[in-house]
Amino acid sequence: MGQLIVNGLALGSIYALVALGLLMIFNTVQIVNFAQGQLLMLGAFIGISSAVTQELPIAIAWIVTMAAMALIGIVFMVLVYLPLRGRSPFLVILTTISMGIVLENLALIIWGPLPVSLPSPVHGAPLRFAGVVISMHQAFTFATLIVVLTLQFLLLTRTRFGILMQATAQDLRTARLVGIPVQRTIAVAFASGAVLSGIAGLLVAPTYLAEPTMGGSLGLKAFVVSVIGGFGSLPGAVIGGLSLGLIETFGARYISSNFRDAYAFIIMIGVLIAWPRGLFGEKTSEKV
């Protein structure tokens, strides 16, 4: 039981990280990025190329990956967001899905279809209390989530950027009129969103291996997490992510492991039927 909780929370931390990346982009430009999972996959493979193929020290590999992801985030913005400003959400959704297809197949061309592993940045004997084993990598995953969450919270609430981001989200045109560097704010949002996914990828690869097709279901789960936790809410993303990790782990153990991937969707559909705009709703409202 205790072990299941630890494993569930470790998995959930990864969902939470992807959801936090989704949130950075959503909170600034109100776009749901359906390619967020593919960004995670890219993070994992860039990490593997740096650490395994190029034999860089793992810490350097992490830094290289994060820098590369920031760049990819900006390229993503230029290709996907800029040409579609002000178009219907449906077309934006389809564009991000298409971008996911592009990234996944590029990865297949570059890295091939076989699953590969990435070493964890931490080593050492697992921690044990009361019969529960916490591997060093799991502990590192929790620690990373806490650090990321704290940094993101400070960024959004205590810095100029956070205020700029909120202003951009609320009214893009006015934000531009009052001289907010809208383009740069959005670029930072996309870059940091991609970096967060990349970190999740670096954390997934040591436990679950990396393969080019891994992004699809992880990205969808980040969305489910956002629905459970409420779109755009920082604590919501974390609570939603951890709960989903627990639900899947317990569901796989006590109900059926074949349907492990279905639990997320069943819960999401249930939540949406009861609350069509998510558990905590979105801030945006429609004018009649």
Partner 1 sequence: MRISPYLALVAAGALSIPLLTHDNYVIQLLNIAILNAIVVLGLNYTTGWTGQINFGQAAFYGLGAYSTALATKFGLPWIAASFSAILVVALASLVLGLPTLRLRTHYLAMTTIGFAEIVRLIIVHWEPVTGGTSGLRDIPGIDLLGWHPQGQIQHYYIMIAVLALAVVVAARIRHSTVGRAMIATKDSEIAAEQSGVDTLRMKLLAFMIGAIYAGIAGCLYASSIRFISPDSFSGTQAVFLMTMLIVGGMGSIPGCVAGALALTILPEALRFLGQWYLVLYGLGVIGIIALLPGGLASVISVRKLRWGHPQ
Q: Kindly indicate which of the ranges 115-123, 197-205, 247-255, 276-284 contains the residues binding partner 1, using the contact rule CB under 8 A.
A: 276-284
When binding is defined by CB under 8 A, the residue of 80, 167, 225, 228 that contacts partner 1 is 80
Q: Kindly indicate which of the ranges 2-10, 61-69, 129-137, 274-282 contains the residues binding partner 1, using the contact rule CB under 8 A.
A: 274-282
When binding is defined by CB under 8 A, the residue of 64, 67, 93, 122 that contacts partner 1 is 93
The helix/strand/coil state of 34 is coil
Query: In angstroms, how far is CA 107 from the centroid of its own chain?
Result: 18
Cβ closest to partner 1, residue 73 vs residue 206: 73
Residue 185 token pair: 């704010």
Q: Between vectors from CA 195 to CA 191 and to CA 196, what angle results, nearest 5°?
A: 120
Q: Kindly indicate which of the ranges 6-14, 139-147, 219-227, 235-243 contains the residues binding partner 1, using the contact rule CB under 8 A.
A: 219-227
* 268 touching partner 1, by CB under 8 A: yes
* 265 touching partner 1, by CB under 8 A: yes
Residue 43 CA: distances (Å) to CA of 68, 115, 207: 8, 14, 15
- Report the Cα–Cα distance between both ends of the chain, in Å, rounded: 51
Under 8 Å CB-to-CB from 186, ≥6 apart: which residues?
28, 29, 77, 81, 168
* 227 touching partner 1, by CB under 8 A: yes
Burial 163-174 (b: 16+ CB within 10 A, else e): ebbebbbeebee
Name which of residues 100 to 129 contact partner 1 (CB under 8 A): 100-102, 104-106, 108-109
Total chain residues near partner 1 (CB under 8 A): 44
In whole angstroms, what is the distance from residue 209 CA to residue 113 CA?
12
Q: Kindly indicate which of the ranges 41-49, 93-101, 140-148, 182-190 contains the residues binding partner 1, using the contact rule CB under 8 A.
A: 93-101
Least CB distance to partner 1 at residue 92 (A): 9
Name which of residues 9 to 48 contact partner 1 (CB under 8 A): 32, 34
In whole angstroms, what is the distance from residue 22 CA to residue 250 CA?
25
When binding is defined by CB under 8 A, the residue of 4, 64, 67, 84 that contacts partner 1 is 84
Residue 216 CA: distances (Å) to CA of 141, 168, 221: 21, 29, 9
Least CB distance to partner 1 at residue 288 (A): 6
Residue 151 CA: distances (Å) to CA of 45, 83, 140, 188: 25, 31, 16, 14
The helix/strand/coil state of 1 is coil
Q: Kindly indicate which of the ranges 42-50, 52-60, 62-70, 256-264 contains the residues binding partner 1, using the contact rule CB under 8 A.
A: 256-264
Least CB distance to partner 1 at residue 200 (A): 19
* 53 touching partner 1, by CB under 8 A: no
Binding region for partner 1 (CB under 8 A): 32, 34, 79-80, 83-84, 87, 89-91, 93-95, 97-102, 104-106, 108-109, 216, 220, 223-224, 227, 258-259, 261-262, 264-266, 268-269, 272-273, 276-278, 288
